[in-house]
Amino acid sequence: MSRGPAKAIEDITEGFAKHQYICSEQISTAVYLANELEKPILIEGPPGVGKTELANTAALYYEKELLRLQCYEGLDETKALYEWKYGKQILYTQILKEQMQEVLEGAKGLRESLERLSKFEDIFFSEQFLEARPLLQSLTSTEGNVLLIDEVDKADEEFEALLLEILSEFQVSIPELGVRKAVVKPLVILTSNNSREIGDALKRRCLHLYIPFPDAKLEREIIKARVPEISKRLQVQLVDFVQGLRELDLKKLPAISETIDWARTLIILNADELNQDLAKSTLNVLLKHQQDIDVVQKEVPRLVMASDG
């Protein structure tokens, strides 16, 4: 590649910004490296900082299809990788009963019938009966795609083991069909909310990106990109207020997605600046626990004052 990596990273930052995703240098470096090294990215960070959104935007930016696998407890390979179409198999055996009889006609004894049958046995375990789930779809697609494995920490630890082969070799082994290798290696993005520690084996195979809450400058840019109709003054006040909130001891800190929601709420209410009453009455957009709201109610005057200065 002739362009320098620094330039390429800048391009990514700009390209993402066109899709209203403002990213820090860390993030764009991760995307660049993932593409160059063909390695998956494991993204960690508090909820609502745009982990999933990053995958969406990457798909838009590279103009590729996004395949999403939402993880949950009890997720197994039949939901994630592939499954045989049992219904179809049964239906076909019923329909083909007569043909089978023809095949078996004249066969003497069990052994001979079995020998004849065994020549056809694999038919029912061929591509036609294979139901590809997101992981296999992603590997077999010829156009290349972005594979998002969302909230991988919600899945069981056994599931991680299943991912290992796919993430490091970009291949899966299906016992009946053999090894399937990726035609075009997908860009893989895994997200985790850290509800449990991800295994070392999985971490080792990934680039590890941690997205923290953004600083005031970045957050202002994000608000500007996402809610362009907001007035400059309100935007500054709003971000300062939220930044102040994050310093309090709350059960759930407001993330970027909440800030954006709040900005939209204020736009609907036709506000051009933040005052105490307005802040108090709309706190429930930002905070999701009654306890937190109670705590913040008392702090509102101070925070509004601070955001004014």
Residues 262 and 283: their CA atoms lie apart, in Å, by 8
Residue 44, number of CB atoms within 10 A of its CB: 19
| Residue 6 CB, nearest approach to other proteins (Å) | 6
User: Are 209 and 43 spatial neighbours (Cβ–Cβ below 8 Å)?
Assistant: yes
Q: How far apart are the first and last CA of the chain?
A: 49
Residue 36 as a binder of other proteins (CB under 8 A): the answer is yes
Binding residues with other proteins: total (CB under 8 A): 30
| Between 276 and 290, CB nearer to other proteins | 290
Residue 246 as a binder of other proteins (CB under 8 A): the answer is no
Instruction: Return all residues near 54 (Cβ < 8 A) that are at least 6 apart.
Output: 21, 23, 27, 31, 43, 189, 211
Binding residue (CB under 8 A) for other proteins from 3, 18, 204, 232:
204
What backbone torsions phi and psi does residue 272 show, to the nearest 5 degrees? -115, -5
What mask of x and - would describe binding to other proteins in positions 79 to 98, judged by CB under 8 A? -------x--xx--------
Site for other proteins in 131-170 (CB under 8 A): 156-157
| Between 33 and 285, CB nearer to other proteins | 33
Q: Are strands 41-44 and 207-210 parallel, antiparallel or unpaired?
A: parallel
Residue 207 as a binder of other proteins (CB under 8 A): the answer is yes
Which residues are near other proteins by CB under 8 A? Answer: 5-6, 9, 25-26, 29-30, 33, 36-37, 39, 42, 44, 73-74, 86, 89-90, 156-157, 196-197, 200, 203-204, 207-210, 212
